[in-house]
Amino acid sequence: MEIDVLSSDDRSLRFILKDGNPSLANALRRVMTSEVPVLAIEDVEFIENSSSLYDEVLAHRLGLIPIKTDLSVLNFRDECKCESGCPSCQVEFTLKKKGPAIVYSDDLKSTSKTMKPLPGIPLVKLGKKQAIELKATAVLGTAKEHAKWQPAVVGYKYYPRITISERCTRCGDCVEACPRKILVVKKDKLTVTDEKECILCRACMDACGEEAITVEGDDKTFIYEVESTGGLEPIEIATRSCDILMGKAQELASRL
Amino acid sequence: MGLYRCGQCDKEVELTMSDPIRCPFCGFKILFKTRQKVVKRVKAR
């Protein structure tokens, strides 16, 4: 199996997986979305809340804020050696703000230097005489339990294989029909500029009167797109998911 | 027993079970219960 990274930055990752199969491709996607742990606020203690939002609604909003996570120093809370919460299984935040103001995720003050919420997310608008004071506790979890612990949105597609036969008359109908504009007639020849951009919609096949063009998905090669929520780097999500999948396979083998 | 706030004169009113639901200062019959000064624990789900 081979992996080609197409593009990578701190929020998104695109790569090609070669010599795979559909079931493995989907397993990898599912592990990335729902088995890779990430921090999310789980418990909130309200000391004061005279804002226009109910405690429960505000707590729900807090839970959905992505938090930069360092997995190397954290354990799951129920697997931690401590009795009830320690710096290696939870991160605490405090929020104190008086109106008139807009409360942003930046206002959450973290006990950790590295693990902070993503800035710039508005939570609630405070009017005159309104105030919020609360303590929040973030713990590791997986999206199997709640979607707030989902580290990324992951999708994949079969690698598009576009073949143009001898019957092609260079009429240009397929060039017009293609929504991704990846077909061009150049020097009296129909060529594909970037087949990775093809979405397998087969509009070119429908447009072609000669049935000269065929588009097929290669079910052994996959193009993945990983879009992180911001809690973990996409590369880390991908590598962690491989470790988790491997661990599951080993557990199965050892129990058989 | 609880703390209330009058809907008309905005004064704080303390009522017991046997008291009529009425502001003792202005006689207004609409009272709003005020938030208690206790820490409230909520699950972020």
Topology of the domain comprising B2-33: Rubrerythrin, domain 2 (2.20.28)
Same-domain pairing of A12 and A44: no
Structure confidence at residue A228 (pLDDT): 97
Structure confidence at residue B36 (pLDDT): 84
Instruction: Kindly calculate the radius of gyration of chain A based on its CA atoms and give it in whole angstroms.
Output: 25
To probe the interface with A, which of B35, B42, B43 has the most A CB atoms within 10 Å?
B42
Closest CA to A138 of A187, A66, A208, A210: A66
Same-domain pairing of A9 and A23: yes
Domain interval for residue A157? 2-35+153-225
SS3 at position A152:
strand
**Model confidence at B1: pLDDT above 70:** no
Closest CA to A104 of A138, A65, A55: A65
Phi then psi for residue A204, to 5 deg, are -65, -35
Taking the CA of residue B37 and the nearest CA in chain A, the distance in Å comes to 8
Domain C-terminal end among A145, A173, A194: A145
Residues of chain A under the 70 pLDDT cut: none
- For chain A, what is the domain count? 2
Residue A172 covered by a domain: yes
Cβ neighbours of A50 in B, within 8 Å: 35
C-alpha A23: how far from its chain's center?
20
Tell me what the pLDDT averaged over chain A comes to. Answer: 95
Closest CA to A63 of B44, B9, B10: B44
ipTM: 0.75
Residue A201 covered by a domain: yes
- Please report, for the domain that includes residue A76, its CATH number: 2.170.120.12
List the A152-164 sheet strands across, edge first. Answer: A2-8, A12-18, A213-228, A152-164
Residue A232 covered by a domain: no
The nearest alpha carbon in chain A to B34 belongs to: A50
CB contacts under 8 A, A 128-157 vs B, are: 136, 146, 148
| DSSP-assigned states of every residue in A13-24 | EEEEEES--HHH
Read off the pLDDT band of B28 (50, 70, 90).
Answer: very high
Same-domain pairing of A61 and A90: yes
Residue A140 covered by a domain: yes
Residue A242 covered by a domain: no
CB A162 within 8 A of CB A75: no
Same-domain pairing of A137 and A44: yes
Taking the CA of residue B41 and the nearest CA in chain A, the distance in Å comes to 5
pTM confidence score: 0.85
Separation of alpha carbons A207 and A215, rounded Å? 12
The pLDDT tens digits of the residues spanning A131-183 come to: 999 999 999 999 999 999 999 999 999 999 999 999 999 999 999 999 999 99
Task: Average the pLDDT over B21-31 and give the result.
Answer: 92
Same-domain pairing of A6 and A84: no
